[in-house]
Chain A
Amino acid sequence: MLDEPLTASAATYGPPYDPRPEIVGSEPRRFVGLVLTLAINDFKLRFFGSVLGYVWSLVRPLLLFGVLYAIFTHVIRFGGDIKFYPVYLLTALVMFNFFAEATNRCVTCLLESESLIRKVRFPRLAIPVSVVTSSLLNLVLALAAVMVFYAAQGVEPTWRWLELPLFVLVLALFALGCGMLLSVLYVRFRDVQPIWEVALQVLFYGSPVLYVLTVAPEAIQRKLLANPIACVLTEMRHAMIDPTAPDLFAAIGPNWHLVVPAAILVGTLALGTYLFAREARTAAERL
């Protein structure tokens, strides 16, 4: 029935394969390209068409910072004897804000990408990874603004500032671990969203954002450091702001105690990866 003869083919056949839903996929370049494209689009949409977009993205943490700063220094009179307390407060806020934003958006990310998931085969993991990446771009911009504040407050730059990317990386990995977990849980259980919002509140006060670790009693300090975010913020204070403040190793006591936050970080990532890989294969049917 062909009305035209087949000519030489456009491509040669590889071995036959069985198409299946994929998580990371077999082509790392495709995965990276997808993550970048999705993250850049998301970023563009948030800052769309206005210079004010960037300013708006800073307004929220800055406003919160202003309120907290006013209350803590003038009303409760806290932080007076903490060196560079405003700088610490702002940095910690911006970092926690990144974690909260990334995980919050991960909760609904699979559902919001429903049309993609049901109509294209692509590595599903690209969705939560792109959400975290987009929030990461946001964090980098926010940190750039924070650096101006450092200069204004007269914080001395040191070589230890180079640890900053490490802090961001640890936070991003923790956010991704939680994000993978939350995104697939939300497909099954719709009350994950309010539950996570409450959990974030607890985490906010459980992490030294408003306070610094060293104001807490020593026994509590070590318990607080089970939280990877608390570890990052404590080490950040030592490296970035006040070299006289204890670093993470000093604060946690015996070094093997570090196993706990490390296990929580790795465990979250492992559990997140496992559940995501298991659930995301059938996500297209459940959405």
Chain B
Amino acid sequence: MSDHPTSAPALEIERATKSFVVSRHQFSTLKERALHPLQAREVQRRTVLRDISVQVARGEFFGIVGRNGSGKSTLLKCIAGIYQLDRGRIRVYGRLAPFIELGVGFNYELTARDNILTNAVMLGLSRREARRRFDAIIDFAELRDFVDLKLKNYSSGMAVRLAFSVAIQVDADILLVDEVLAVGDAAFQQKCFAEFRRMRREGRTVLFVTHDMASLTRFCERAMLIEGGRCIELGPAEVVARRYNEVNFGRLEDSQLATPGQHLKAVWFEDEDGRRTTHTEQGGQIAVCCEISPPPHDESGGPLALKVTLRNDVRHTIVVLDTRAPNCKGGESLERLVAGGEPFVARLLFPCQLAPSAYSATVDLLQGDRPVDRLEDAAAVTVHSRFFSGGVWDAPFEVAVSGTRVPA
């Protein structure tokens, strides 16, 4: 059952099933009930979760994805103990954060100070502990100047920062997060990400519900895809993200491709030393690696080519590495390999001058101009930098100063 290699479980879900009552004749007033005392209520139950089983290991960032109404938030609420399961069992090891959303209980008529206290108590701190951590919370949110301002005068981004800052102060081993990471400005997002890394180092577990595949691959190692209340895919985040895109959008193009992954066997990122990685510092070299099982030789087909499209977390195309392009060195080595037919690995090495963000790689394998295989969002890497310029390409550059007024 253990489908994660590391350590002890943080959470075990066994055959979780949950249904809701949807009565056709739901009396909503006592009067109706009194007027029709004998009429039996037709009770219909709609099952929203069916036999969901999963184990989440300690220290894991686990994603739950699915369309609206697929049951992912219901599952999270069952785990949090807000809803009660009909059947099945949930076992939690360690302290579970009792909330699924940031800023619950915020009252916009009260000051930030009062709201921090309320929210912290709501999320499980004692009143004394909440007061003790007040400074840490307000400093992390960088809102000390606005502490006595009513929340209604806050911008939505500021309120979210406040909410996040309270949430991370809660002493929980397992956090449940429903759709919140796409908030705050970029600098604050970086800070949040650093905070998540710290949590992971401390062995904390995060369950993260989303339908944003970019943040899924950015934050999670593993994920499950829920559709119609069933788990239809459970595995590495990239695989689940790809399946999600298939299920929801169909294959975006190239419907003539019979089986995706037939020739492109695997895609991953490597650092300068040839180690697989999902995180890198800006400024080094990084490689996209594709394991390819080449298609049979085809006279009319032309030479093999690879096209790797890197998109950032808001799905903008930032870099396209095309082996046919003049800026590619060694593209002809690909062409030579075609006839051989043996599987090989192609490494596309480039200097990582990308702005800090999460990037996902979509890989196309082409023979001549004909697409042979395509893997959507096949691998992901997060680029880190201490500095956020606001651009998408942080080109290395020099500054030189000259002019009559400058002493030589």
Contacts and interface: CB of A to CB of B under 8 A. Distances in A.
B20 interface: yes
A284 B59 contact: no
A1 interface: yes
Interface size class of B (residues with CB under 8 A): 35 or more
Contacts of B204: 10
A119 B81 contact: no
B197 A4 contact: yes
A7 B270 CA distance: 24
A215 to B, nearest CB: 35
A3 B277 contact: yes
Interface stretch (A168-176, A185-193, A242-250): A185-193
Contacts of B77: 118, 284
A223 interface: no
- The listed residue with most A CB atoms (<10 A of its CB), out of B28, B83, B95, is B83
A191 to B, nearest CB: 4
B208 interface: no
A16 B92 contact: yes
A217 interface: no
B278 interface: yes
B12 to A, nearest CB: 8
Nearest to A41: B118
Interface in A128-142: none
Interface size range on A against B? 35 or more
B84 A116 contact: no
Interface in A181-216: 185, 188-192, 195
Contacts of B99: 119-121
A3 B94 contact: no
A21 B81 contact: yes
A41 B94 CA distance: 31
A2 interface: yes
A16 B124 CA distance: 18
Interface in A5-21: 6-11, 13-14, 16-21
Contact of A121 (B21, B82, B93, B203): B82
Interface of A: 1-4, 6-11, 13-14, 16-22, 29-30, 33-34, 36-38, 41, 44-45, 48, 115-122, 185, 188-192, 195, 281-282, 284-285
Interface of B: 6-8, 12, 20-21, 27-31, 33, 58-60, 77, 79-84, 89-96, 98-101, 104-105, 107, 109-110, 114, 117-118, 121-124, 126-127, 171, 173, 197, 200-204, 221-222, 236, 277-279
Given A7-B202, A22-B81, 20 more contacts: A2-B6, A4-B201, A6-B200, A6-B201, A7-B203, A8-B203, A11-B95, A18-B90, A19-B92, A20-B81, A21-B81, A37-B122, A44-B110, A45-B107, A116-B122, A119-B99, A120-B80, A120-B122, A190-B29, A285-B21
3 tightest Cβ-Cβ pairs between the two chains A and B: A19-B81, A121-B98, A191-B29
